[in-house]
Structures are given as structure tokens and as C-alpha cells.
Amino acid sequence: MKAIVISNSADVKTKPSPGLWHPIETIDIEKPVPKSNEVLVKISAVALNHRDVFSRQSLYPGVLPGVPLFADGMGTVTDAGSDSLRKQWVGKRVIVAPSRGWVSDRRAPDTSHFAILGGTKMLPVGTGCEYVACTNEEFVECPAHLSDSEAAALPLAGLTAWRATFTKGELPLNGPAKNVLITGIGGGVAVFAAIFAVHAGHSVYVTSSSKEKIDGAIERLGVKGGFNYKDKDWPDQVKKALGGALMDVVVDGAGADIATKAIKFCRPGAIISCYGMTAGPQIAYTMRSVLSHMDVRGSTMGSFAEFKDMVKFVDSHKVKPLVSHQFSLDDVEKAFLVMRDSQQFGKIVVTMTQSSSRL
């Protein structure tokens, strides 16, 4: 079967660098045969995440040439390893879970074998190929209202946003409404966090360095307002916009000085749920944060139980993932360049179709 991989000619031991760019190629690899507890999924669409770009720059650990790329994928079950699974699942559209080794523990992965799909030696499986074999705890049925591209956009970013927003951020799914700030709108996780929080009935605000992305979040996602984090007084702008109220939760993908900035507009005991470090690999936490009882929490990915809860929420609320760009398999390099250059507002999807488009 065909698979999209980092080329075997790539020297992945080269010093990591944003300027490094390992070549990718489409190769033939062995088609998986489902075991007795597995189904075989014919992949229809995949989606990119920043980790895929980082892998091509040797900025992600354990990169392994020849292993299918991508953690996000959806498709149709075509076979199974047992008659009972075959009868239950063949012909159904499913979404592949983006990781393995984390079943249900709310604190952290259950085992030391936790790994994310796509392009690494830790788990030499990815969705960037024609077929993927999955056990019962590695896929869920696709909500009927989602297109193939929308479904492919959901797994990793949706799960990361779900855990950061509801599990670690402790936003209630059913009231009362809270004030939420989501930093760095435009990226997949931030967009999903905004979509989920709005659908759960909360008052959502965003930050970005792009007026276009802030306006897009207001118009397309239903957030109440946005702030340009390049403005030195943006924390004061947040406080003014709240009109005497304060932020309850910050869902953050930047790190760095978010805790010191948030002091100005967060209530005592506020939660900062941090899933990334685009602004810096450390978070400054001062005595002022201690005295305000500010709770800074780390959040990455999520369990299969959270994945099922997230997809159930998407189904019941008829949530539509935001697909920014869609490309054919032949144009996968163009998809990578859009992600590398942060041109997207939402997710970037690669399908098995012939034509590419901007949605």
C-alpha cells in the first residue's frame, strides 16, 4: 500500500533547526492484516498538526524515516480479524484515535508506552497510508453530520483542546457560564477550544497577532471579542472588555509570561491550562500568582475515554470542525508549507481525491 513518509535519504540526526526541512515521499509498504481484535480502516482523509512540521525539522523526538506520517485520520472499515467485529463494523465510517497507551486515567497516561501516531520510532504507525489496523480502543464511529475532511480534522487537536478546556480547565459542560480566554487563535487546538467552549455556553475571548484571525473568530466561531497580543497593553484591554468581571479560565498554547500577564484580568483562583509553548519553553510564575491562588496546569493530548467524550459532544451539539485548507495527496508538500508558515485558520486536511482547494 502507499504511505507518506519522511524519506529514507533524510539525515534525521542532523542538528534540529527551524530551517531544516527533511524531504518526504510516497512509498510502498506492507498492508496490515487485522488481528482477531482489530479492524482494518481504509483511510479517506488525514490532517496535519505542528508535530508533523517539527518532525521534518528534527524538532520532534524519535523521528524515523519510512514510518507513515500523521496522527489524524478517518476512513471506512473494510475488514476485521473476527466474524463478530466484521459484522459490527464493516462498511462504517470511523475516526482513528491519534495515540496509543492512554485509556482512561484523568491525571496522565496509564502506561509508560503512551505515544502519538505518525513518523516516530516510539510508535511506528501513522494515518498517512492507505490502511490502518485498529483495536476497539483505537477508533470511534464517525458522527453522521461530519464530512470526511471535517472528521479527519478532529482527532489530535480536538482531543488536546477538550482536555485543556474541560478536564484541566474545569469548564462546566452544562453551566454556569464562565469567562474564558483562548490564546493564539488560528491554530487547530485554539480553534477547537473556542468552538467547544462556545457550544458549552461560555463567554469566550481570544488573542492573536492577526486582526484577520480575531475577526474570523468573532464572525465564524461566535467568540465575544479578541485582543492583539503584540499590543503592550493587551491585558488592560481584556480587563476593560470584561466591564468589571474577570476571567475564570485561560486556555493557553504560548507559555512564557502568560501567568504574569493574566494577573491583571483573572479572578483569584483562576486556572491557566497550558498545552503549548509557542512563546517560550518556560512559564514565569511569581509570588503574585501564588498570592492570587492562580493554578497553572499542564495539559497534553488526552485519554481514549476523553476522546470518546469529545466525539460524543461533537455529535450531540452537531459541532462542525473548521477546515482551513484541503489538498489532494499529490499536493501534500503544499499542505506542509501552509502549516509551516502559519497561513491557516483551522485545520489543514489531505484527502485521497484529485483536486485541492481552499475551503
The DSSP secondary structure of 43-102, one letter per residue, reads: EEEEE--HHHHHHHTT-STTB-TTSBP-SEEEEEEEEESSHHHHHHHTT-EEEE-SEES-
Say how far apart CA 124 and CA 174 lie, in whole Å. 39
Tens digit of each residue's pLDDT (9 = 90 or more) over 314-344: 999 999 999 999 999 999 999 999 999 988 9
Contact 95, 139 (CB under 8 A): yes
Contact 4, 128 (CB under 8 A): yes
Considering the four listed CATH numbers 3.40.50.1100, 3.40.50.12780, 3.90.180.10, 2.40.30.170, the one that applies to the domain covering 169-298 is 3.90.180.10
Contact 225, 252 (CB under 8 A): no
Tens digit of each residue's pLDDT (9 = 90 or more) over 126-155: 999 999 999 989 999 999 999 999 999 999
Of 307, 315, 339, 310, residue with least CA distance to 325: 339
For residue 246, how many other CB atoms are within 10 A of its CB? 15
Say how far apart CA 239 and CA 269 lie, in whole Å. 16
User: Would you list the domain boundaries of the chain?
Assistant: 2-156+302-358, 169-298
Considering the four listed CATH numbers 3.30.413.10, 3.40.50.10860, 3.30.300.30, 3.90.180.10, the one that applies to the domain covering 2-156+302-358 is 3.90.180.10
- 154-180: burial string, b at 16+ Cβ within 10 Å, e else: bbbbbbbbbbbbbbbbebeeeeeebbb
Say how far apart CA 49 and CA 189 lie, in whole Å. 9
SS3 210: coil
Position 206 confidence tier, pLDDT thresholds 50, 70, 90:
very high
Contact 57, 264 (CB under 8 A): no
Q: What is the pLDDT of residue 359?
A: 40
Of 236, 237, 231, 269, residue with least CA distance to 250: 269
Helix (H) or strand (E) holding 336: helix 332-340
Position 282 confidence tier, pLDDT thresholds 50, 70, 90:
confident
Residue 175 has pLDDT above 90, yes or no: no
Q: Are 2-156+302-358 and 169-298 equal in CATH topology?
A: yes
Q: What is the pLDDT of residue 353?
A: 59
Of 164, 125, 126, 129, residue with least CA distance to 26: 129
Say how far apart CA 57 and CA 303 lie, in whole Å. 27
CA 9 to centroid of chain Cα atoms: 29
The pTM is what?
0.94
The stretch 174-179 carries a mean pLDDT of 92
Residue 355 has pLDDT above 50, yes or no: no
| Cross-strand pairs, 134 | 39
Of 332, 353, 311, residue with least CA distance to 146: 311
